[in-house]
Amino acid sequence: MCARNHSWLSGLPRSTEKFLPYALLSPILIVILALGLYPFLYVIWLSFQTQTAATKPVFVGLENFYEIIFRDRTFRDVFANTLVYVVSVVTVEFLIGLGLALLLNREFKGKRIIAPLIYLPMMVTPVAVGLTFRIMYNVEYGPFTYFLDLIGLPAIPWIASATYALFSLIIVDIWEWTPFMFLVLLAGLQIVPRECIEASQLDGASYWQRFRHITLPFLRGSIAVALLIRMIDAFKAFDIIYTVTEGGPGTSSAVLSFFTYIVGFRRFSLGYAAAMSLILFFLILIPTQLLFRRLRRKP
Amino acid sequence: MTQEKKTEGRLTRRSYLQTVGGAVAGLVIGGAIGYLAKPAEMVTQTVTKTETQTVTGAAPVTTTAAPIGAVKPGATINILSSSPFDSVTRHWGEVWGKQMGVTINSIPGPAAGLYDPIMTDFMGHSGSYDSSEYVYEWLADFVEGGYVVDLKPYIDKYNDWDFFNDVVPIVRKMYAEWGGNIYGVPFDGDSINYYYRKDIFNNENVKTEFKNAFGYDLGPAGDWDQYLDIAKFFTQTTKGKYIPYGTTEATHRGRMAVWWFSHRLLGMGGMFLNTDGTPAVNSEIGLKALDHLKESLKYAPPGAIDYEFQEHENAMVFGKAAQMLQWGNIWSDVSLNPASFLPGKKPTDPDWPLGIAPVPGVGPGKKGHTLLAGGWSYMINKDSKDPEDTYRFLVYMCRLPQSAWQNTHPETGVQPSLKSHYTDPTIVGVLGKEFCDAYQAGQAMGLPDLRFPHAPEFLDYLDQEVGRACAGQATTKAALDDVASHWVDLCKKYFGSPNVPDNYVRMVM
């Protein structure tokens, strides 16, 4: 009714008006289909082929998937690295982010200076973060070695050792993305009704009881969003790995997304890389769907 | 009020005409400004000479000699180069471009990641790059994929055989040729040599202590056992008294690990493939080469296992390592870097502290070969819109006297690739006769790693496993056996047999 009051629509027949929204949306839909759906369908097709830089595609059925899952030892090592990486960064970032959000969910002097400092790392471009940490991790002249020496501890071969390399990358990720968790959870804490908290305080509830029975239920939605987004991003981690270690020494710090890049763009084994990326897609899809359903369940 | 409500949100004819009229006026004005601001076009003359030859018994043959000006005046030629080589294409691009009335657009890219954008451009046929820098490992994929231009017709047309015949034979064969044709213009010699701190090696106290410890005179390492002895002496025996580390190595994932293994494999007389095309990396020599690398890392700076090119070079430039295997640019990078242990000194100074020698195991009466690591050249994209002018620029840039500029400006990273480079007074005057003689001798004994279709996949797997062995994730034998087994799988997948085809084997030997 409102629409038909506008003069430029008043001359249009009703049937045209019915399809008008679709016509107006079609340009952006075409872009999304071209840049999103088409490449995805192409990757699915490519995963059933053998294709390299110098050869045309040859259909091989499920051979790529069979090789990856049952015969590729490197894939299994890298998959294990990926699980360690994702679980570690998401868990630690959540715990630190939640702690910071609870701490800053009150007014105090200096809050306006401290809060921006906390989410500053998130604003630095990941490549710059990676390159800077690479220098800081240097065993000979990096500042970490300097400070360890100041307190009488031996230097740690952060990225020069298969034992520490993945752990070093986890530290970088935690430094960079904990502010994201903090911001989402702090925003979520704003919807917790003050009256409920005050009433529970009057009733003599302890801090832990208030947190468990009042704050946490209201925070479930924000937790779901934060964990989902970070989990998906952690599975797709690439820039930090590329700039800090390139997956080395050996394969000790390689994760699936980076290894897929190596197979696809260094070895140019396109079909194999496409199959690997599909496996990564389902690896991300299944746990995120389970997590989403779990956290969205009404308490 | 009702009237205001009625007109609120309406797109009236007046506002529509104002908007459209403004947009059109803006386009017209903007276009006029752009047209007037365009620099005046170079007036170029394309002069061709027509010659008539009469061949006995045949009709007269009329040939057209090469044009002097640009074939396509006003064209833009895009050249993808890695840093710092892009400084050379930029430098000569400005000079040649002005002369010819074309624009040479030098596009920088990461050395470690050039294969990716080049192949993406090829497979998409976007023609974004008229020419790209490449390493010889990639050439077979480019040729077999039908992506690059055969240069022989242009060489004939412009009579550039003097240039191509002047390229060091092993460099031309390995970097530029495939299947009897020429596809590349060699740009950078990229031969590895052994470099050492001559000033420290000649120190009398050092010489005496070394002789006491190892029973022979200290000198540049003639074989790989001596290399380890020297490394151990400076790092462990004298505990860094004379120089902190006896060696520096580089096994960063991506390229360095496979090269630093390959120096030793070839230097010890080993090969990547047997003559029948089966893998030879896990031979006795291969195992010895990898064990040697792992042992050397113990005497290198901590973190060397993760060293990339610059970190490895800095270990020598900053005066921390007594010996190293490296490309030729280390020779003058020592004087170029203000933070080096010897800033400002020139290679021709009598007290120049660096020495150069063949890679251990390489020389008269020895079995080893020098690794030609990298081998940067330029090829021409078949999708180029101006391949002829692109070719002319590349040859112009790489022949003398132009190439004397990049070979004597250390910041370019370019090393000699022509026979005449070693006698050119400008180059010899800057780099010194000692360097030129040693570099030429090492290059003549050079061999590539792998160069056949899918070689990058073979080499990346070797790089991965060498890295795993150095990191302690696998034993030497397990790592190299895994490589051999994987190479056999790749051969079956791509060549239909468990060995590399004979014609490809001959390309690397």
Contact B239, B233 (CB under 8 A): no
Q: Domains along chain A?
A: 14-59 (no CATH), 63-296 (1.10.3720.10)
Question: In terms of Cα–Cα distance, which of B438, B340, B329, B346 is closest to B88?
Answer: B329
Residue B483 covered by a domain: yes
Do B178 and B321 share a domain, yes or no? Answer: no
Q: What is the pLDDT of residues B489-498, one digit of tens each?
A: 999 999 999 9
Q: Select from B418, B440, B462 the last residue of a domain.
A: B440
Residue B301 covered by a domain: yes
Which is more confident, B151 or A36?
A: B151
Out of A8, A160, A262, name the one closest to residue B306 (CB).
A160
Per-residue pLDDT band for B33 (boundaries 50, 70, 90) equals low
B358 DSSP assignment: P
Q: What are phi and psi of B380, to 5 degrees?
A: -115, 130
Contact A129, A121 (CB under 8 A): yes
Contact A86, A231 (CB under 8 A): yes
β partners of residue A58? A50
Distance CA B95, CA B90 (A): 9
Q: Is the confidence at residue B54, as pLDDT, over 70?
A: no
Do B293 and B226 share a domain, yes or no? Answer: yes
pLDDT of residue B131: 97
- Closest Cα in chain A, distance from residue B249 (Å): 13
- Closest Cα in chain A, distance from residue B459 (Å): 9
Per-residue pLDDT band for B333 (boundaries 50, 70, 90) equals confident
C-alpha distances out from residue B450 to A130, A153, B259, Å: 32, 45, 11
Per-residue pLDDT band for B330 (boundaries 50, 70, 90) equals confident
Q: Is the confidence at residue B329, as pLDDT, over 60?
A: yes
Do B347 and B337 share a domain, yes or no? Answer: yes
Query: Residue B334 belongs to a domain with what CATH number?
Result: 3.40.190.10
Domain of residue B416: give its range.
Answer: 76-190+374-440
The per-residue pLDDT of chain B, averaged, comes to 87
Within a 10 A sphere around the Cβ of A123, how many other Cβ atoms? 9
Do B346 and B495 share a domain, yes or no? Answer: yes
Do B416 and B461 share a domain, yes or no? Answer: no
Q: What is the domain count for chain B?
A: 2
Distance CA A196, CA A204 (A): 12
pTM score of the predicted model: 0.86
Helix axes A270-296, A38-46, angle to 10 degrees: 120
CA-angle at B117, arms to A135 and B381, nearest 5° = 140
Question: In terms of Cα–Cα distance, which of B273, B269, B255, B283 is closest to B451?
Answer: B273
Cβ contact A266–B116 (<8 Å): yes
Pairing mode, strands B184-186 and B377-380: antiparallel
Within a 10 A sphere around the Cβ of B498, how many other Cβ atoms? 15
Question: In terms of Cα–Cα distance, which of B148, B161, B252 is closest to B471?
Answer: B252
Distance CA B159, CA B64 (A): 12
Cβ contact B493–A140 (<8 Å): no
Q: What is the mean pLDDT of residues A172-180?
A: 97
Q: What is the pLDDT of residues B352-394, one digit of tens each?
A: 899 999 999 999 899 999 999 888 999 999 999 999 999 999 9
**Lowest-pLDDT range, A54-58, A237-241, A295-299, B38-42?**
B38-42
Contact A231, A291 (CB under 8 A): yes
pLDDT of residue B111: 81
Do B216 and B307 share a domain, yes or no? Answer: yes
Q: Which residues of A touch B304 (CB under 8 A)?
A: 160
Is A7 touching B (CB cutoff 8 A)? yes
Distance CA A283, CA B183 (A): 44
Per-residue pLDDT band for B11 (boundaries 50, 70, 90) equals low
Q: Select from B384, B405, B440 the last residue of a domain.
A: B440
Q: What is the mean pLDDT of residues B26-52?
A: 47
Q: Which residues of A touch B482 (CB under 8 A)?
A: 73
Per-residue pLDDT band for A204 (boundaries 50, 70, 90) equals confident
β partners of residue B185? B378
Interface test with B, best of A241, A266, A269 (most B CBs within 10 A): A266
Per-residue pLDDT band for A238 (boundaries 50, 70, 90) equals very high
Do B86 and B223 share a domain, yes or no? Answer: no
Do B431 and B501 share a domain, yes or no? Answer: no
Is B472 touching A (CB cutoff 8 A)? yes
Q: What is the pLDDT of residues A260-272, one digit of tens each?
A: 999 999 898 999 9
pLDDT of residue A261: 95
* C-alpha dihedral (B347, B348, B353, B358), degrees to nearest 10: 70
Do B245 and B326 share a domain, yes or no? Answer: yes
Is B312 touching A (CB cutoff 8 A)? no
Per-residue pLDDT band for A196 (boundaries 50, 70, 90) equals confident
Is B469 touching A (CB cutoff 8 A)? yes
Contact B265, B280 (CB under 8 A): no
Q: Is the confidence at residue A88, as pLDDT, over 90?
A: yes
Q: What percentage of chain B has pLDDT greater than the value 70?
A: 88
Label residue A204 left, alpha or beta by phi (over 0 means left) and psi (-120 to 50 means alpha). Answer: left
CA-angle at A212, arms to A211 and A214, nearest 5° = 65
pLDDT of residue B351: 86
- Closest Cα in chain B, distance from residue A47 (Å): 16
pLDDT of residue B228: 97
Q: Select from B440, B466, B492 the last residue of a domain.
A: B440
Cis peptide before B456 (omega within 30 of 0): no
Do B344 and B488 share a domain, yes or no? Answer: yes
Per-residue pLDDT band for B41 (boundaries 50, 70, 90) equals very low
Do B198 and B186 share a domain, yes or no? Answer: no
Q: At A226, which amino acid appears?
A: A
Out of B301, B456, B472, name the one closest to residue A267 (CB).
B456
Q: What's the token pair of residue A120? A: 């500053």
A63 DSSP assignment: H
C-alpha distances out from residue A261 to A200, A229, A249, B466, Å: 53, 22, 17, 20
Residue B14 covered by a domain: no
Q: Is the confidence at residue A16, as pLDDT, over 90?
A: no
Out of A53, A159, A252, name the one closest to residue B473 (CB).
A252
Q: How far is CA B298 from the centre of its chain?
A: 29
pLDDT of residue B83: 86
Q: What is the mean pLDDT of residues B141-165?
A: 95
- Closest Cα in chain B, distance from residue A68 (Å): 13
Do B368 and B379 share a domain, yes or no? Answer: no
